[in-house]
Structure 1
């Protein structure tokens, strides 16, 4: 086996994984030239709260399916999300993230656990999460407390939908606030899930299966 082949093979194996190592200083997302590259949100801002549900058993699957709680997204998604968070922060709130990019292998694992398209996107088609253009979010106040949204994350009932109105005025106002700011920053809502937002036109991106190794 030639040395050149070994070098190429090593490079290929390395590139198959996303880099989970945290930068010692915050990076500037506008210095990223590839809009479709996957990068770690934590390297570009300290202003988000993370509660990555699928890296724990605290989710509707009742099982941990991510090796660790990282939030990778495409560069263009992070650019829009940073601007949305700035708008929320001006009003005293911050985005809390439940889920970001999801490798196709994880989607397949979730489908195996719950093979029902009402709850999990069929991996044959893939979801926007698999394309790096979707985020599952809520808002927290200055004390880090979640705003009341009427249901828990991943509650699969009609009460979680944007069109459901039999809720308190506070909840309706909170959902409206979240939705209005996100729509102003190049995202669109998902009718049946108040927490789910897709970057506009992200459905055209390719499904990805890039995984990440957990940082030590």
Structure 2
């Protein structure tokens, strides 16, 4: 009986260890317990129209450095009555490879109306909306927005997440003053805490001094 108990305890202990991110990475919820998460690639509301390989759990993983910097962003936002909402963070190379495979099937346009109505699917890579090597796979890039801390309603950014078009660009002018101010508010706080924006996507930020600038990871999110 003691041997059986030992085997069971060992099994659960090893599973606990294997479920942790590798060294240098953390679950974002460990640093920001109240973080809002809508991990789009874990479900089917994304440009592929289906759950993406590599996302086995609804967990947000980042490098320790990026997570600590994001915790500082959250603390500052809370002073103004806001908080962060995460759409994506670390992205396994397996997921990126699935995007490449998706792009090889021009007839699969299930989500075109919502995510790329103005663009041809075959051009999404050349236009910079999807990459064969993503900064997300280096672990210090995050897709996010701001929500009201009380209602959890997203503030109006003048465009939706993962919309492949000019409306998502930081320099897009055909939005209201309030929408532009909201984008600039997010950008200024992210910049203050060490993140740089991506010009094509208002939601996309990368830690300036990322710890793994040349490494593309492929461990599963679990």
Q: TM-score, normalised by structure 1?
A: 0.79
Instruction: Give the Cα–Cα distance (whole angstroms) in 2 for the partners of residues 154 and 85 of structure 1.
Output: 22
Query: Contact conserved, 1:162 with 1:191, CA < 8 A, in 2?
Result: yes
What are the residue-to-residue correspondences of 1:49-198 with 2, within 5 Å?
A: 49-65=36-52, 66-114=55-103, 116-117=124-125, 118=127, 119-122=129-132, 126-141=133-148, 142-198=150-206
Which aligned runs of 4 or more in structure 1 are off by greater than 3 angstroms?
13-18
The aligned counterpart of 1:46 is: 33
Query: Contact conserved, 2:56 with 2:220, CA < 8 A, in 1?
Result: no
Deviation, structure 1 residue 212:
3.2
Task: For residue 180 of structure 1, give the secondary structure of its aligned residue in structure 2.
Answer: helix
Instruction: Give the Cα–Cα distance (whole angstroms) in 2 for the partners of residues 88 and 55 of structure 1.
Output: 26
Question: Deviations along 1:102-128, whole A, 9 cap, x unmatched?
Answer: 111111112211254233211xxx211
Deviation, structure 1 residue 16:
10
The aligned counterpart of 2:216 is: 207
Instruction: Give the Cα–Cα distance (whole angstroms) in 2 for the partners of residues 85 and 205 of structure 1.
Output: 27
Q: Which has the larger radius of gyration?
A: 2
Query: For structure 2, which runs of at least 5 residues remain unmatched after alignment?
Result: 1-13, 105-123
Query: Contact conserved, 1:18 with 1:38, CA < 8 A, in 2?
Result: no
Task: For residue 197 of structure 1, give the secondary structure of its aligned residue in structure 2.
Answer: strand
Deviation, structure 1 residue 18:
4.7
Deviation, structure 1 residue 163:
0.4
Deviation, structure 1 residue 61:
1.3
Task: For residue 47 of structure 2, give the secondary structure of its aligned residue in structure 1.
Answer: coil
Question: Size of the alignment, in residue pairs?
Answer: 185
Instruction: Give the Cα–Cα distance (whole angstroms) in 2 for the partners of residues 111 and 89 of structure 1.
Output: 38
Q: TM-score, normalised by structure 2?
A: 0.77
Instruction: Give the Cα–Cα distance (whole angstroms) in 1 for the partners of residues 60 and 168 of structure 2.
Output: 23
